[in-house]
Copies of this chain bind each other. A is one copy, B any other.
Amino acid sequence: MKRTERIGALIRILTDNPSKPFALRYFCDMFGCAKSSISEDIQAASQAISLTGTGYLETISGAKGGVMYVPDISDEECAALQEEFCERLKDSSRLLGGNFVYTSDIFYDHRIMGKLSRVFARIFRDCGADYVATVETKGIPLAYNVAWLLNLPLVIVRREANISEGSTISINYISGSYDRLQKMSMSKRSVKNGSKVLVIDDFMRGGGSVTGIAEMMNEFDSKIVGVGIAIVSTEPEKKKVSGYVNFVDLGTVDPENKVIEAYPNLDLFKRA
């Protein structure tokens, strides 16, 4: 096998399995090469990946030495994505009744979600989470993409208990913004007791859902170690949670004058 082919195959395998450590031995056996050659190949592979701005390779030293792909995004690409995200949000044709803004097309767009996932993966890569959790429905593609990049299982909290989930734990909570009673339900099998959970969601107004998930996690003797939200409404100013990281802010939504305001969160990487 040619060296370029080996390096190419290395890149393909490692980037297809983000945050997953591979022993050098694995590649030695696959390519029939000495460790020293593989180490050189890894250096070249790392350089090539870094050039694309999508991450880098991290080598783990010691007896169990290995290598893994760490997904990343540059400050510049992130800022450009925030800009694009805000521009799309501000399109007044998104205005729905009740000051709601249509966003499904954005959250079901794999190009945007792929990049946004790299933003959250960068922020939360060292948070020590065992699971990525989200509340159905719109945040699922994003949460799944982040779970893939961080090599973690996904957990989806349901609005209503579903028969295919087996025994569930359900809680009632008050939505943060409208003081409405809401319900949340999770399969008893979905999270091991004593786990750490990273919450990823599409939208937050008052913070009721996140408080609900926190309460739910208590039932599993588990706790939230990070909260990443794509869009956070500036209203109400007082949220039920703190310590979340939002990608953009949704400002005034004014159907009468057909205005939607949206701003990038400029402290994105500072808070982490």
The chain A residues found within 8 Å of chain B, CB to CB, are 1-9, 11-13, 15-17, 44-45, 47-49, 51-52, 54, 96-98, 100-105, 108-111, 113-114, 136-138, 140-141, 144-145, 147-148, 151, 153-156, 158, 162-166, 187, 189-190, 203
What residue of chain B has the Cβ atom nearest to residue A138's Cβ?
A: B164
Max chain B Cβ within 10 angstroms of own Cβ: one of A12, A96, A108, A114:
A12
Known contacts A96-B163, A140-B140, A166-B102; is-contact A5 B51 (Cβ 8 Å): yes
- Shortest Cβ distance from residue A2 to the other chain B in the assembled complex, whole angstroms: 8
19 A-B pairs with C-beta separation under 8 A: A4-B7, A8-B11, A9-B49, A11-B11, A11-B12, A12-B15, A16-B114, A101-B164, A102-B166, A104-B189, A105-B190, A110-B144, A110-B153, A113-B144, A136-B136, A137-B156, A140-B141, A144-B145, A164-B203
Q: A4-B48, A7-B7, A12-B49 are in contact. List 7 more A-B contacts (CB 8 A).
A: A5-B47, A12-B48, A98-B163, A100-B164, A109-B153, A109-B154, A141-B144
Max chain B Cβ within 10 angstroms of own Cβ: one of A158, A165, A203:
A165
| B104 and A156 contact, CB distance less than 8 A | yes
CA distance A102 to B9 in the complex (A): 36
How many copies make up the complex? 2
| A104 and B187 contact, CB distance less than 8 A | yes
CA distance A2 to B48 in the complex (A): 9
When distances are taken between beta carbons in the complex, the residues of chain B under 8 Å from A141 are 140-141, 144, 154
CA distance A45 to B156 in the complex (A): 37
When distances are taken between beta carbons in the complex, the residues of chain B under 8 Å from A162 are 137
CA distance A1 to B44 in the complex (A): 11
The 5 tightest CB contacts between A and B, nearest first, are A8-B48, A108-B154, A110-B148, A141-B144, A96-B166
| A8 and B49 contact, CB distance less than 8 A | yes
| A147 and B110 contact, CB distance less than 8 A | yes
| A3 and B4 contact, CB distance less than 8 A | yes
What residue of chain B has the Cβ atom nearest to residue A113's Cβ?
A: B144
When distances are taken between beta carbons in the complex, the residues of chain B under 8 Å from A166 are 96-97, 100, 102
